Amino acid sequence: MKRNIAYIPGDGIGPEIVREAKKVLDKVCSVYGHEFHYEELLLGGASIDAHGVPLTEETIKKAKAADAVLMGSIGGDAKTSPWYQLEPSKRPEAGLLGIRKALNLFANLRPAYLYDELRKACPLKEEVIGDGFDMIIVRELTGGLYFGERKTVEENGVRKAVDTLSYNEEEIRRIAIKAFEIAGKRRKKVTSVDKANVLDSSRLWRKVVEEVAKNYPDITLEHMLVDNCAMQLVHNPGQFDVILTENMFGDILSDEASMVTGSIGMLSSASLNETSFGLYEPSHGSAPDIAGKDVANPIATILSAAMMLRFSLDLDKEADAVEAAVAQVLEEGYRTPDIYSEGMKKTGTAQMGSLIAERIQ
Ligand code: NAD
Ligand code: IPM
Ligand code: MN
């Protein structure tokens, strides 16, 4: 099967980790007889260096034309990188938000699963981990605070900044439908997370989610306030199946959920529109502090590539094979430094990618 993949290395550890995901996909192609054609595109800091802007029309056009987009991560160190001398709309992050909006990627799926082998890398106590956990965060990705009006002004000599959090019912409905559809194939529970005790946008969120829930009578819906959810994630993570939430809450809660899986280097991510098209990237950032050292964990990106096989390329068997290879390497005791515990085999970025690729069958 021939497929076209837009390939965005990005900044920092981005090129290192996405290279390992490609290595694994190359092995998938050779074992299963597929042909993937990659077109490399620029985004974020790399695009600023080449074109002066973090996102070009060309990147949007070529990403749209592909069957899926595979990405590293973008951004630099805000203190030292010249990219942060630019105005906010020209910085790397604006490129990422721009491509999400341009491709209408409103549904961001971030699965947080604790591999049994990583119980020692999880910072929670054994009794809190219990039987482990397996949840997926369904984060709204093209609305809310990230895309509301913002401005910085000076009023009577006092500096003031404004960000706006707004959602309309259609934006809420379509992400809620995604969450219920996903829950139907899992343990049939949706926890909708909001701040309805304070925010109007959350009160509308709750109403619309309840309307959607009427079409899914076999799924249990519960509402949870976001502060409580942040606490419950480290108190009793096993209670969650599908967490449905708005953009900013989902950003914060997914980093928290990642840590209880052992490391942010384990948390994959898929950003989808209404079709099977998607952008696949790890949930973490470009980690400038460890870039170029061959220590970054490539597993989040490799698991994102597995989601790409499953959701955009309709290759379930191949996705299963990648996930099985990741599990096998962990069972054999290989660990990048972020998930290392005593007695395990310390492994670099490139070796981890090779070990996983070798186990694809
Ligand atoms: P970060 O996720 O890059 O790093 C946070 C911490 O986690 C660092 O200590 C880092 O070393 C570690 N870490 C991250 N990924 C790792 C991996 N695969 N293996 C091992 N350790 C890993 O977050 P940050 O430092 O707040 O942000 C750095 C830059 O990344 C910023 O410019 C930010 O805007 C950007 N960012 C981009 C994305 C994206 O492209 N989707 C996501 C988040 C942050
Ligand atoms: C993420 C990142 C981005 C976000 C940043 C880099 C704009 O943190 O993908 O989680 O906040 O969505
Ligand atoms: Mn984030």
- Mean pLDDT by groups of 10 residues along the chain of 361 residues: 96 98 98 98 98 98 98 97 97 98 98 96 96 97 98 97 98 98 98 98 98 98 98 98 98 97 97 97 98 98 98 98 98 98 97 98 92
Could you tell me the distance, in angstroms and rounded to a whole number, from the CA of residue 200 to the centre of ligand 2?
24
14 is in an annotated binding site: no
From 93, 142, 247, 259, give the residue whose CB has the most ligand 2 atoms within 8 Å, as the site to mutate.
93
What does the buried/exposed string (b/e) look like for 229-251 if buried means 16 or more CB atoms within 10 Å of the residue's CB?
bbebbeeebeebbbbbbbbbbbb
Q: Are the beta carbons of 237 and 260 closer than 8 angstroms?
A: yes
227 among known catalytic residues: yes
Q: Which of 116, 163, 200, 227 is catalytic?
A: 227
pLDDT digits (tens, 9 = 90+) for 82-120: 999 999 999 999 999 999 999 999 999 999 999 999 999
Q: Is 76 in the pocket of ligand 1 (CB under 6 A)?
A: yes
Mutate to test the pocket of ligand 1, among 258, 269, 286 (most ligand atoms within 8 A of CB): 286
Sign of CA dihedral 119, 121, 127, 131: negative
Is the shortest distance between the CB of 338 and ligand 1 below 6 Å?
A: yes
From atom 7 of ligand 2, which residue's Cα is the shortest distance away?
93
- What are the boundaries of each domain within the chain? 1-110+272-361, 123-260
In terms of pTM, does the model score above 0.95? yes
pLDDT tens-digit series, residues 207-240: 999 999 999 999 999 999 999 999 999 999 999 9
Q: Which of 11, 195, 280, 338 is catalytic?
A: 195
Taking the alpha carbons of 359, 356, 124, 136 in that order, is the dihedral positive or negative? negative
Task: Please state, as a whole number, how many other Cβ atoms lie within 10 Å of the Cβ of residue 354.
Answer: 17
Task: Give residue 324's pLDDT.
Answer: 98
C-alpha span between 165 and 144 (Å, rounded): 5
- Measure the CA dihedral 140/146/147/149, to 10°: 140
For residue 73, give the nearest of 268, 332, 330 by alpha carbon. Answer: 268
Look-up: residue for tokens 């914060």? 252
CB of 251 closer than 6 angstroms to any ligand 2 atom: yes
pLDDT at residue 1, as a whole number: 84
d(CA 112, CA 260): 8
* Cβ of 283 below 6 Å from ligand 2: yes
Which residues, at least 6 apart from 20, have a Cβ–Cβ distance to it below 8 Å?
298, 301, 302, 349, 350, 352, 353, 354, 356
Task: Tell me which residue of 109, 75, 92, 98 sits closest to 250, measured CA to CA.
Answer: 109
* Parallel/antiparallel/unpaired status of strands 220-225 and 189-194: parallel
- CA of 188 from ligand 2 middle (Å) equals 28
Q: Name the CATH code of domain 1-110+272-361 (choices 3.90.1310.10, 3.30.1330.10, 3.40.50.280, 3.40.718.10).
A: 3.40.718.10
Q: Is 293 annotated as a binding residue?
A: yes
Predicted pLDDT at 354: 98
Distance separating alpha carbons of residues 123 and 235, to the nearest angstrom: 12
On the question of a common fold for 1-110+272-361 and 123-260, the answer reads yes
The helix-helix angle for 299-311 and 349-358 (nearest 10°) equals 40
User: Measured between alpha carbons, how far is residue 312 from residues 33, 104, 193 in Å?
Assistant: 18, 15, 27
Is 320 an annotated catalytic residue? no
Q: Residue 326 — φ and ψ, nearest 5°?
A: -65, -45
The verdict on whether residue 206 carries a ligand-binding annotation is no
The domain defined by 123-260 carries CATH number 3.40.50.1980: no
> What pLDDT shows up at residue 250?
98
Give the Å distance between the CA of 155 and the centre of ligand 1.
36
Query: Strands, DSSP E only, in 176-316?
Result: 189-194, 220-225, 242-245, 270-272, 278-280
